[in-house]
Structure formats: C-alpha cells, structure tokens
C-alpha cells in the first residue's frame, strides 16, 4: 500500500504537519469559528449587550496582535495596513466588495445546509435569530468605526446603514425623508435577484428583516421605531425588493411596534 501522509501520520510524534495553502485556510476557519463561539457563549451567559461590549474590547486587542504576527511571519517591510493601502484604491474597493459578497454567501450556504437537514421552518428560525443578533452587533460596530454618538437619532442611523457590508452589494436609497422619519428602500437585493434568475419566487424575508432592522435601530438609538413598508411575502410596492420606515418616538415614551428595545437573546430561546 502506498504511504499517504496527507494527515501527518508518518511524522514523528510531536511534529506538526507541514504548512500548506490548505492548512492556512483551515487555520483562518478555526480562528473564525472559535472567536464566534466565544461571542455566542458570552451572549448566552452574560447577555447580548454585555457580549457586544466585551467583543469591542477583545477585537480592539486581538486585531493588532494578529496583524503583528502576520507581519513578522511574512517579513513585511511595514505593517499590514500599509501593505493593504499599497494595493491602491481600486483594488481595495474590489477586495472589500469580494469580502462583502463572501459574507453574504456564508449566510446563504448556512441557510441551505440547515434547510436541507431540517427543513425551511428550522432554517428560518436560525436565520432570523442570527440576523437579530447581527443587526445589533453591526450597529454598535458602525458607531465605533464612524464615531457616532449614542442616541444619535435618524442622522446617526442614516450614516450607520450606509456603512454595512450589505450596503456595498445591494442597491439602496433613502426616500420619503422628513425631519422625523425616512424610508430605506432596497432597490435591488442580491439574494432576491439571484432567485429571480433561477426562476424561483421571492424569499419571504419579512420576519428576518423585521428583527434585523429592529435590532440595528436599537443599537443606534432606542427611540427609533421600525415598520415594514414592503417585503416578501407582504410586497406592497413594485419599485424595490423591500422597504422599511424608520421614525423617532418621544424619548422615554411608550414603545409601540418594533424597535426601541434591548436586543433579544435568541440563544436563550
């Protein structure tokens, strides 16, 4: 039988398998999963708000550590950020778009895997709880990156919505703007466009969109309320894939409808 050392079985005990491109990808995968498990379990035990606050501290400490190790390992003449800047603006735009599309692709692959294993009902349950958690996290990261104040109202919300990864891959705009409200219109949605090309009906995403945008708004300003204007299967306007109205309620007033609340902890369900 031919010796097969793909798994390092022929190496002496205590000697790690040789590095390879495949093992580099595996290392990145395990880092991402382990980091995510820490975040999920912290949210489960301490609550989502505490988990996101701690992730901000952990991420700010960990990312420079990771960058420095990569710089030393590759003998880079400068730091990772300088190396990336050397790509030029056009290639940076392409890279960030590729990462944004890949983020959404991961969502789709997970959804399909759960749907194939357990059916549409369970896939939608997992999907909606994930998006409720992600929406709140995205909002707080946008506040940190953009320097937005807490309780920044609709002005902060507009800025934060534009900073989302999905904002790079979907076509969207703001319409029906007043001092106290505006409508986010998703003119072209990558997911729904792909389904249309495949001859499939629109994905019924109103439940996921509702929890996503409610959590995102709560992370920007608890006084912001969210209402669905149009979203499959409750489509009421043909000029977009979906539309969502954001409005301000009085500070300290009773909350009616979605938004204006602490994010749910789906892992406690």
* CA dist list (Å): 190 to 108, 124, 146, 242: 11, 18, 25, 12
Domains of the chain: 87-268 (3.30.1380)
Structural contact between residues 201 and 186, judged by C-beta atoms closer than 8 angstroms: no
Of 102-106, 109-113, 134-138, 260-264, the least confident:
260-264
The 10s digit of each residue's pLDDT in 208-241 is 999 999 999 999 999 999 999 999 999 999 999 9
Which run of H or E residues covers position 178?
strand 171-178
Structural contact between residues 177 and 248, judged by C-beta atoms closer than 8 angstroms: no
The 10s digit of each residue's pLDDT in 53-82 is 999 999 999 999 999 999 999 999 999 999
Confidence of residue 171 (pLDDT cuts 50, 70, 90): very high
């Amino acid at each position: 039988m031919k010796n097969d050392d793909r798994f390092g079985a022929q190496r002496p005990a205590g000697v790690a398998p040789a590095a390879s491109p495949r093992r580099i990808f595996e290392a990145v995968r395990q880092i991402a999963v382990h980091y995510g498990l820490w975040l999920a379990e912290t949210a489960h035990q301490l609550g989502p708000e505490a988990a996101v606050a701690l992730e901000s501290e952990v991420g700010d400490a960990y990312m420079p550590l990771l960058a420095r190790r990569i710089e030393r390992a590759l003998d880079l003449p400068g730091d990772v950020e300088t190396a990336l800047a050397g790509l030029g603006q056009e290639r940076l735009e392409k890279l960030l778009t590729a990462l944004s599309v890949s983020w959404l692709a991961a969502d789709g692959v997970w959804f399909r895997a759960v749907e194939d294993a357990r059916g549409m009902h369970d896939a939608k349950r997992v999907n909606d709880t994930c998006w409720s958690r992600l929406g709140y996290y995205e909002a707080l990261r946008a506040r940190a990156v953009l320097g937005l104040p807490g309780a920044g109202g609709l002005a902060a919300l507009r800025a934060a919505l534009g900073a989302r990864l999905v904002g790079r891959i979907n076509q969207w705009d703001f319409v029906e703007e007043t001092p106290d409200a505006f409508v986010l219109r998703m003119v072209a949605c990558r997911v729904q466009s792909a389904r249309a090309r495949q001859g499939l009906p629109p994905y019924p995403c109103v439940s996921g969109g509702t929890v996503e945008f409610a959590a995102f708004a709560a992370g920007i300003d608890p006084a912001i309320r969210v209402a669905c204007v149009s979203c499959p299967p409750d489509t009421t306007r043909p000029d977009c894939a979906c539309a969502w109205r954001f409005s301000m309620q009085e500070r300290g007033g009773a909350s009616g409808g979605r938004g204006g609340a602490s994010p749910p902890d789906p892992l406690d369900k």
